[in-house]
């Protein structure tokens, strides 16, 4: 684990899965079911794309549309799941996910991108295409060796050997069949997402289609940095954001990066932090234009004891309390997944 990992007390590691599920709000339960149903369905489609000449994907479009609708209704659980470690997701899937780095990565990109695109006011009739473009952005990795699927980023701009391979998605997208849907548009969108970063950075915000694909592209890089595909280190959200802002400033339109910061935040919804008081807290709301001062729910005291009940704190109203560091620990997600 990297330096952002928290030394959570041993008792935290023994929490049973889904302990808080009985108190789960209806929207949270629906979001959880939708997330894992999408994971399972996408895995089935990946398997079929490798074997079959054509694959009906109406269900995948339906799931993508439902994700967009749920993000509008209540984004908290979907964003929390997208920010959760891959290990948490793997523990809660109903079956082994053979193409997990493609499947989980794609679903998370779709969630991030749709959240941002909705906030950008993207027309409703374009969300399905853009959501599927995010979901399918790494479909070119099918049939590649496991070492390529599990390849971690190996350079400052997040490029890896797998990035060269994923640039050939046409073979699989051409197999996709969706009723009353122009799949060539998805192929075109994915192609733009895969374009050289320098090309994307020259596109102005007035050119809507390139603006939208830039959003998917930057979500792709962010997800890769903050989720471990193989056995390498991951970046905390704040470090990933710093890299996108600093080391990638020549590659991405700065207005897109600013928008990305303000909407997803360096301390994302559903993630965990250690406060200056040494207490452990979950991010439950982002204060617009105050990304360093979100609303948190304190779940552990400074000695690692559980707060019963958890204490809600708006850091914008408490200037003497600040976030010390981001935390990444699966036990926290298991215990407090429904807490918002």
Between CA 119 and CA 127, with CA 121 as vertex, the angle to 5 degrees is: 90
Strand order in the sheet with 272-275: 306-314, 295-300, 280-285, 272-275, 323-327
For residue 151, the model assigns a pLDDT of: 56
Specify the pLDDT at position 252.
65
Summarised one tens digit per residue, pLDDT across range 63-83 is 999 999 999 999 999 999 999
Whole-angstrom Cα distance, residue 332 to residue 78?
17
What superfamily in CATH does domain 16-264 come from? Hypothetical protein af1432 (1.10.3210.10)
Instruction: List CB contacts of 270: < 8 A, sequence separation 6 or more.
Output: 76, 77, 79, 80, 81, 83, 84, 282, 283, 284, 340
E strands of 24-179, at which residues?
A: 55-56, 176-177
Q: How far is CA 249 from the centre of its chain?
A: 21
Domain ranges of the chain: 16-264, 269-340
Helical H segments across 180-302, by residue range: 183-193, 197-201, 208-226, 237-245, 254-264
CA pair distance 105, 312, nearest whole angstrom:
31
Structure tokens at 201: 């950075």
Nearest in space to 338 (alpha carbons), one of 272, 270, 237, 267: 270
Q: Which residue numbers in the chain have pLDDT < 70?
A: 1-24, 145-169, 192-210, 228-233, 247-253
DSSP E strands in the chain: the ranges are 55-56, 176-177, 272-275, 280-285, 295-300, 306-314, 323-327
Strands 272-275 and 176-177: unpaired
Cα–Cα dist 102/139, whole Å: 7
pLDDT by residue (tens digit) across 167-198?
Answer: 556 788 889 999 988 887 777 777 766 664 44
How many CA within 13 A on the CB side of residue 127?
Answer: 25
What does the pLDDT read at residue 140?
Answer: 85
Instruction: Report which of 319, 327, 310, 258 is spatially closest to residue 288, judged by C-alpha positions.
Output: 258
Q: What is the pLDDT of residue 209?
A: 63
């Amino acid at each position: 684990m990297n330096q952002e990992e928290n030394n959570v007390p041993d008792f935290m590691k023994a929490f049973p899965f889904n302990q808080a599920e009985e108190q789960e709000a209806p929207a949270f339960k629906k979001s959880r079911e939708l997330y894992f149903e999408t994971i399972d369905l996408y895995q089935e489609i990946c398997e079929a794309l490798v074997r079959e000449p054509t694959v009906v994907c109406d269900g995948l479009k339906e799931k993508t549309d439902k994700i967009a609708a749920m993000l509008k209704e209540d984004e908290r659980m979907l964003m929390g799941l997208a920010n959760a470690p891959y290990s948490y997701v793997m523990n809660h899937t109903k079956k082994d996910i053979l193409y997990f780095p493609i499947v989980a990565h794609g679903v998370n990109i779709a969630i991030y991108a749709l959240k941002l695109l909705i906030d950008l006011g993207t027309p409703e009739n374009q969300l399905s295409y853009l959501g599927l473009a995010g979901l399918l952005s790494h479909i070119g990795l099918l049939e590649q060796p496991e070492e390529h699927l599990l390849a971690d980023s190996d350079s400052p701009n997040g490029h890896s050997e797998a990035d060269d391979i994923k640039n050939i998605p046409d073979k699989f997208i051409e197999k996709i069949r969706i009723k009353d849907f122009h799949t060539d548009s998805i192929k075109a969108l994915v192609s733009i997402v895969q374009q050289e970063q320098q090309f994307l950075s020259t596109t102005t915000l007035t050119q809507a289609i390139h603006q939208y694909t830039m959003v998917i592209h930057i979500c792709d890089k962010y997800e890769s940095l903050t989720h471990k595909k193989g056995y390498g280190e991951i970046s905390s959200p704040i470090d990933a954001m710093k890299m996108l802002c600093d080391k990638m400033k020549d590659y991405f339109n700065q207005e897109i990066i600013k928008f990305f910061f303000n909407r997803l935040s360096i301390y994302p919804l559903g993630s965990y932090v250690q406060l200056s008081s040494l207490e452990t807290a979950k991010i439950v709301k982002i204060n617009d234009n105050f990304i360093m001062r979100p609303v948190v729910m304190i779940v552990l005291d400074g000695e690692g004891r559980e707060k019963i009940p958890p204490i809600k704190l708006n850091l914008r109203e408490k200037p003497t309390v600040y976030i010390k560091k981001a935390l990444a620990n699966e036990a926290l997600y298991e215990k407090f997944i429904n807490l918002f």
